[in-house]
Amino acid sequence: MSGIAGWVDFRRDLSLERATVRAMVATMAGRGPDGEGVWSAPHAVVGHRRQDVTGRDGAPQPMVAQDAVAALDGDIFNAPALRAELGAHESQVALVLAAYRRWGVACAERLTGCYAVAIWDIRRAELVLIRDRLGNKPLFYHPTPDGVIFGSERKALLSHPLVEPVVDIDGLREVLSYVGTPGHGVFRGTHQVAPGQLVRVGRDGVHRQQYWTLPAGPHPHDLDTTVRTVRELVTESVAAQVPTDVPFAMMLSGGLDSSGITAIAAHLMRERGAGPLHTYTVAFQGGPAGGASPDAPYVRELSERLGTRHTDILVDTDTLIDPVVKEGALRAKDVPSPLGSMNTSLYALCRTVTQETPLAVLGDAADGIFGGGMWMSPDLRDADTIPWVAMSYRNGCQHGMGADLLDPELLRKLDLRGYCADRYRDAVAQAPSHPDDSPQERRMRQLWYLNVTNWLQLLLPHSESIAQSVGLALRLPYCDHRLVEYVYAAPWAMKTFDRREKSLLRAALRDLLPPSIVDRRKSPYPVTQDAAYAQRLCADLRRLATDRDAPAAGLFDAEAVLRYAEQPDRLVAGPRAWGARSHAEMLLQLNMWLDLYRVRIAI
């Protein structure tokens, strides 16, 4: 896990611009605490921050060959197979470089893992940016009249003198709608390499190429074979991503997803004769029943069954409201979001875990891949918009998650409902389908496609960027493209054969887990239910509403904010409370973002 940054310019002499790129790289120190490197040539500078999680892959980067230079962020999980084919290259970046020299940009189809790659082809004077199939690792770029500026995070680009922190109406819509448009960069002129995409930058401009998309089928197996295959694919992915000789943490919530990969990892550890697995769970102090987590009984039962060494990390309201924690979480993501305490609690969790290990494995993405999102309910499937946004409408949000306190005239200009509907139609139009699909099957493939594309583009950067900001590398076994392809191709009736969410995953993991966990009802990521937290949010809202010099002044309805702040009880618990809280959280984050990043809103 690392950070990449660089600058390509076909008119300027960049031999003297190492300091500019070094400053870009420095903004990502959390991603790479183990070293830094910068390589320069007349028309290209490539920088890298290195994190050597295993202690065995400390090759200096960027890596330079006679005809190409490469920088890698992430892990190549099929490295053993590539070494057998390409030769005994020690480091993963050397493998990537060898793969590019052998196959050119077609190497993207040969790499399996969670990664982002930047390659400067010296002979062709061309930059190649590659992002893994599901978008586990971020990679942004900002075209200029004569080249491009690129980096693993937006903050790296924003530190460059040629990139201004300007957000136009389209970027503000993307932030406030929470739709997760693949490839959207939010800041004006900035793009993200989309999952499964490579970008080539040469003298003739920028060219995008999609090297991977979801296949539509047909599905080759019956139900029993499908369940066995899902189990095999999940097990193979865990085995490829769990290190053999490096301490790591398992993030355990007591739900089906994290419990399943924890059980598989514990079995692998026993086979390898390794010590007990170390598991972590986040819980909140304060609130009902003294803050006892609903996850606690399930976590305890599985930990005792597997013999893990378990740690509960308790997060209190003072931590969630701490300006240092709040700013750290925002700077990690570079853009505000309606998630609020989910951001800060994850930041606090990762900050604690990294004191013991630089690597954590977690079960994120299973909801999107197996259809476990709470918006997959029958009453939301036919909504002509992004389904999780439709869920927020159902829970009382007028303009989606986090926007209801904005100025009415601004909301009219933004037309967030229209923007969400447009992005929804753009996305479902790209969903692959099979000629034999029934109308219902086609519809469910569209929803599955949204889960794997737009939803994962919200979820994966949320976890990855926050964890990496404190030096914690993540591995996500459910984000194996072979598993995703296989489940996507399976028919809807098979995916819901037991009339519950995540039918295939539940059946595949049943023999590994206690019945209480296998049959546990879906539970979202926990948030604090401490009334004191809601009161602190409302106090902050009152201060913001009466501050005429606040960066966000003019973007919100001050009187509506003051009225909102008089009802802290509705921000405490329940789905409507989550939606109500999102408006307070987003407005406060928006104000902090405008201040810290000196953002100029151009609408």
pLDDT one-digit tens code per residue, 135-173: 999 999 999 999 999 999 999 999 999 999 999 999 999
Tell me the one-letter amino acid at 286.
G
Closest CA to 326 of 22, 595, 9: 595
Q: Is the predicted pLDDT of residue 371 greater than 50, yes or no?
A: yes
Which of 114-128, 529-543, 586-600 bottoms out in mean pLDDT, i.e. has the lowest? 529-543
Quote the CA–CA distance of 581 and 583 in Å, as a whole number. Answer: 5
Phi, psi at residue 166, to the nearest 5°?
Answer: -105, 135
Percent of the residues in the chain that have a pLDDT greater than 70, as a whole number = 97
Cα angle, residue 402 at apex, residues 555 and 589 outer, rounded to 5°: 65
Give yes or no for a cis peptide into 387 (omega within 30° of 0).
no
Average pLDDT over residues 341-357: 92
Quote the CA–CA distance of 397 and 85 in Å, as a whole number. Answer: 54
pLDDT one-digit tens code per residue, 480-513: 999 999 999 999 999 999 998 899 999 999 999 9
DSSP category for residue 422: H
CA distances from 381 to 390, 394, 478 (A): 9, 13, 24
pLDDT bucket at 272, cuts 50 / 70 / 90: confident
pLDDT one-digit tens code per residue, 8-62: 999 999 999 999 999 999 999 998 888 899 999 999 999 999 887 766 666 789 9
* C-beta neighbour count of 259 within 10 angstroms: 29
Average pLDDT over residues 556-569: 94
Quote the CA–CA distance of 348 and 289 in Å, as a whole number. Answer: 22
* Helix/strand/coil percent split, the chain, to 5: 45, 15, 35
Quote the CA–CA distance of 65 and 95 in Å, as a whole number. Answer: 12
pLDDT one-digit tens code per residue, 278-332: 999 988 876 544 444 688 899 999 999 999 999 999 899 999 999 999 999 999 9
Q: What is residue 286's predicted lDDT score, i.e. its pLDDT? A: 66
Q: Which uninterrupted H or E stretch holds 37?
A: strand 35-41
pLDDT one-digit tens code per residue, 507-547: 999 999 999 999 998 776 777 888 999 999 999 999 999 99
Q: What is residue 289's predicted lDDT score, i.e. its pLDDT? A: 41
Q: Mean pLDDT across the chain, nearest whole number?
A: 92
Phi, psi at residue 542, to the nearest 5°?
Answer: -65, -40
| Radius of gyration (C-alpha) of the chain in whole angstroms | 23
Residue 526 structure tokens: 């926990």
**Highest mean pLDDT: which of 76-90, 221-235, 293-307, 458-472?**
221-235
Average pLDDT over residues 421-427: 96
Quote the CA–CA distance of 219 and 139 in Å, as a whole number. Answer: 33
Question: Rounded to two decimals, what is the model's pTM?
Answer: 0.95
Q: What is residue 288's predicted lDDT score, i.e. its pLDDT? A: 47
Q: What is residue 574's predicted lDDT score, i.e. its pLDDT? A: 75
CA 286 to chain CA centroid, Å, is 29
Quote the CA–CA distance of 358 and 57 in Å, as a whole number. Answer: 14
Quote the CA–CA distance of 7 and 160 in Å, as a whole number. Answer: 9
Q: Is the predicted pLDDT of residue 198 greater than 60, yes or no?
A: yes
Q: Are 1 and 468 contacting, i.e. CB atoms less than 8 angstroms apart?
A: yes
Which of 45-59, 302-316, 353-367, 394-408 bottoms out in mean pLDDT, i.e. has the lowest? 45-59
Q: Which uninterrupted H or E stretch holds 223?
A: helix 223-241
Q: What is residue 114's predicted lDDT score, i.e. its pLDDT? A: 94
Q: What is residue 214's predicted lDDT score, i.e. its pLDDT? A: 93
Residue with structure tokens 């493998």?
95
Q: What is residue 58's predicted lDDT score, i.e. its pLDDT? A: 65
